Structure 1
Amino acid sequence: MGPQPAKRQAILEAAVTVFLREGYARAGVDVIADEARVSKQTVYNHFGDKERLFIAAVDGERERVAAEFADGAPYAPEQFDGADARTALIAFGHRVLEVLLDERASALRRLVIAEVGRHPSLRTACAEGEPRQLVIWLAGMLDRRTGSGELDVPDPASAAGQFVALLVQQGLHQSMYGTRPLAAEVAASICEKAADLVVRAYRT
């Protein structure tokens, strides 16, 4: 990572820290610059204004989450290919809940929801859904299951999106948007029910 990408990343990390600590309205660009150990002008040069910095910080957090599922990463779907479809989906579901409901991601999600009513220009940050890359990787796993004849999934991308959306919706609801830990038995139930829906729908 060169000096400019590294500096940009440092600003984004500082922005998340300050936005979570101060809230959107009270977080000043000067405070974020101090946290990142750069000049205020450097922040403006990279992001233009506080609104765009906030949206970039939210996008960066989503990218951090999605990176956990990249090829070779601990949660990459390929590691579950040796198990049957239901077992693989349950295992992958647990990883989704673990990563997406971590403390920082949950706190930033709550901040976005709290601020968008007062600052409608931040609606872009609400266009969350599932991390796109995560859905792509899971769709690949479902496609491989279709190729092997275990499942028959005509549209793996849609099925993957629905599976992840169900996990996230239930995880957020049961954890009260990350304000309380998700009990192990609750997480297991969420993952098992979501996996059972997919397997029943697409079993050959």
Structure 2
Amino acid sequence: MRTDNGPRRSAAGRPAGPQPAKRQAILEAAVAVFLREGYARAGVDVIADEARVSKQTVYNHFGDKERLFIAAVDGERERAAARFAADSPSAPERYDDADIRTALTAFGRRVLAVLLDERASALRRLVIAEVARHPALRPACAEGEPQQLVKYLAETFRRRTDRGELSVPDPATAAQQFVALLIQQGLYQSMYGTRPITDGDTAAICENAADLFVRAYRNEA
């Protein structure tokens, strides 16, 4: 049942400012409904009911279903990136005392844990299935990996280069390549998140990627 009647207004009668909690409730409901019903069958009215807001409130926040879907995908990327926040055990600074292979392997395990998250994987498959029929959804495919992951890894490569352990002339590009390698292997072996991969397979993906990059960027000086 809905609990509001549209946009909240100020005393002067103007629409009130953004309501982060209500917006987040709509996004959570949207992810649930899109995954349950698919993009085409998901109705804004159903999403509004699940979020306990009015249909007009959904439109006020997001404009239309296409933009709501793209916002939901972006929200999942942000949720993944939040797991790599500075106070997270996955932050690169936590591995500064480990050798570079160990650091990259540990980082890779965290990348795969986020990548193969059940909800994120299901939403990724939905984007792939729908974008050909609904070209307006292409912005949802704009980034193949959370950019926060690339940023953190680039910082690791810069620090290790400054310390003389590696020689990485373009840390940002190297970080993108490392994350892309993990993603490609993770998606392939998990069949795009439809089956779990074993701890042994996860370890092999991360260790092989780490070994490749250490050999490619080892400081030979």
TM-score, normalized by the shorter chain, greater than 0.5 = yes
Secondary structure at the aligned position of 1:180 is classed as: coil
Cα distance in 2, alignment partners of residues 153 and 39 from structure 1: 52
TM-superposed CA distance for 1:129, in Å, is 1.7
Aligned to 2:191: 176
Cα displacement string for residues 6-50 of structure 1 (whole angstroms, at most 9, x for unaligned residues): 111111011000000000000000000011111100000000000
| Corresponding residue to 2:144 among 108, 124, 129 | 129
State the percentage of identical aligned residues: 80
Unaligned runs of 5+ in 1: none
Cα distance in 2, alignment partners of residues 78 and 25 from structure 1: 44
Q: AA paired with 1:193?
A: N
Matched residues, number: 203
Give the root-mean-square deviation of aligned CA atoms.
1.1
TM-score scaled to structure 1, two decimals? Answer: 0.97
TM-superposed CA distance for 1:3, in Å, is 7.3
| Corresponding residue to 1:35 among 33, 37, 50 | 50
Aligned to 1:10: 25
Bigger fraction of residues in helix: 1
Cα distance in 2, alignment partners of residues 14 and 77 from structure 1: 33
Cα distance in 2, alignment partners of residues 7 and 74 from structure 1: 30
Aligned to 2:95: 80
| Corresponding residue to 2:105 among 90, 96, 99 | 90
TM-score scaled to structure 2, two decimals? Answer: 0.90
TM-superposed CA distance for 1:76, in Å, is 1.4
Matched, 1:151 2:154: no
Cα distance in 1, alignment partners of residues 170 and 144 from structure 2: 18
Larger radius of gyration: 2
Matched, 1:19 2:45: no
Cα distance in 2, alignment partners of residues 36 and 193 from structure 1: 44
Cα displacement string for residues 73-99 of structure 1 (whole angstroms, at most 9, x for unaligned residues): 232121111100011000000010011
Unaligned runs of 5+ in 2: 1-16
Aligned to 2:9: none
Runs of 4+ in 1 over 2 A off after TM superposition: none
Matched, 1:162 2:177: yes
Secondary structure at the aligned position of 1:118 is classed as: coil
